[in-house]
């Protein structure tokens, strides 16, 4: 995966397929019952990736379905404002656009509340028969997530088709994104979908919750097929297992990883977290952006961490990625200086001199 953003309208770097919803963020911390007002924004794993990639200068298309309603109008306009091609978004006159409300607290805490109003949404009606192939063909990368598979049997059928290995398909990127509150099938289905992808992102915690796998090596042993497996380890960083295209002996992988794997670990920088929602999507966008540019694996992981930090330091699901030249300079730091990075709110506001980023 090398090259830069498309220079004409016929080439798409990445197609992101999945549901986006109108998101309502609370005006203050507290229980949903006590919050007096909410600010409207947007959120959705795949559209988050699309927006971050477009902001980084890539040619990106978002494919989905929304209702023929005002919230659908808002979603399309908001995503398009990032420079994303929304011509692959279909309007559904019979189903609404999904919405959700959440509290200001971190998703990992018991105080966190989320109320989804997405059952029967327009996006949940996506299927192999109503997503035109012309919306997907021609992209260098097709990015998907496990959330789509959880929306409906029709969506699961679509995901099975898109992750099936076949000649001529785009490189398939898959973020597991296990959501226990949505998932009604055996979570092993997500493992099957991931096996069909070329690049897979999964959190160590979600792999243990969904599949009972502990540690990055065990995850790689269960997922030997993808050429690139990225295991996110929270504040500890991320590890990438990479190798050339799958060989016939790939099934011989063991707890040490595939025999041909190169294993690369990059610690995460210290971040003053405002809200954790959307950080995983941002990480995937940063990693894919660096991959499209042909950067080494260590740099891809560092760009993933930096793009995630841009989202971690804002209240919404989408942060503004740092300017590419600035991110490149940070990603090129030696290990000692990288290990002392400390990123807080506002750190991406301008292409700063490196001395302006705290290294303590």
Q: Which residues are catalytic?
A: 281
CB atoms within 10 A of CB 209: 13
Could you please report the per-residue DSSP string of 173-194?
EEE----TTT--S-THHHHHHH
The beta-carbon contacts of 222-225 under 8 Å, at least 24 apart in sequence, are: 222/191, 223/191, 223/194, 223/195, 224/250, 224/251, 224/252, 224/253, 224/258, 225/195, 225/196, 225/197, 225/250
* Beta bridge mates, 262: 242
Cα–Cα distances (Å) from 334 to 37, 295, 309, in that order, read 46, 16, 19
Q: What is the CA radius of gyration of the chain?
A: 19
Nearest-angstrom CA–CA distance, 265 and 309: 17
Enclosing H/E stretch for 8: none
Q: Return the number of other C-beta atoms located less than 10 Å from residue 188's C-beta.
A: 11
Q: Give the Cα separation of 150 and 104 in Å (integer).
A: 25
């Amino acid at each position: 995966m090398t090259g830069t953003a498309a220079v004409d309208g016929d080439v798409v770097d990445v197609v992101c397929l999945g549901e986006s919803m109108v998101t309502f963020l609370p005006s203050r911390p507290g229980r949903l019952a006590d919050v007096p007002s909410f600010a409207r924004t947007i959120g959705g794993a795949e559209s988050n990736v699309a927006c971050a990639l477009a902001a980084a200068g890539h040619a990106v298309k978002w494919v989905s379905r929304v209702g023929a309603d005002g919230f659908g109008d808002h979603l399309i306009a908001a995503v398009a404002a990032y420079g994303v091609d929304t011509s692959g978004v279909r309007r559904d006159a019979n189903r609404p656009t999904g919405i959700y409300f959440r509290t200001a607290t971190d998703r990992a805490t018991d105080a966190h509340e989320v109320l989804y109003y997405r059952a029967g949404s327009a996006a949940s009606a996506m299927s192999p028969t109503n997503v035109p192939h012309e919306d997907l063909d021609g992209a260098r990368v097709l990015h998907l997530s496990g959330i789509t598979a959880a929306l409906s049997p029709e969506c699961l059928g679509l995901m099975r088709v898109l992750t099936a290995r076949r000649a001529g398909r785009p490189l398939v990127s898959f973020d597991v994104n296990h959501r226990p509150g949505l998932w009604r099938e055996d979570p092993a289905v997500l493992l099957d979908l991931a096996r069909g992808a070329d690049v897979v992102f999964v959190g160590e915690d979600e792999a243990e919750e969904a599949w009972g796998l502990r540690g990055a090596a065990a995850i790689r042993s269960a997922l030997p097929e993808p050429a690139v497996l990225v295991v996110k380890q929270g504040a500890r960083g991320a590890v990438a297992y990479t190798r050339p295209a799958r060989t016939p002996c790939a099934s011989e992988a063991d707890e040490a990883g595939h025999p041909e794997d190169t294993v690369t670990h990059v610690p995460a920088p210290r971040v003053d977290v405002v809200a954790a929602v959307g950080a995983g999507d941002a990480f995937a966008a940063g990693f894919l952006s660096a991959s499209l540019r042909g950067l080494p694996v260590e740099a891809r992981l560092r760009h993933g961490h930096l793009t995630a930090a841009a989202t971690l330091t804002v209240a919404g699901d989408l942060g503004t990625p740092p300017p590419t030249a600035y991110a490149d300079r940070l990603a090129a730091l030696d290990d000692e200086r990288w290990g002392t990075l400390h990123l807080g709110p506002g750190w991406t506001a301008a292409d700063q001199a490196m001395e302006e980023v705290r290294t303590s």
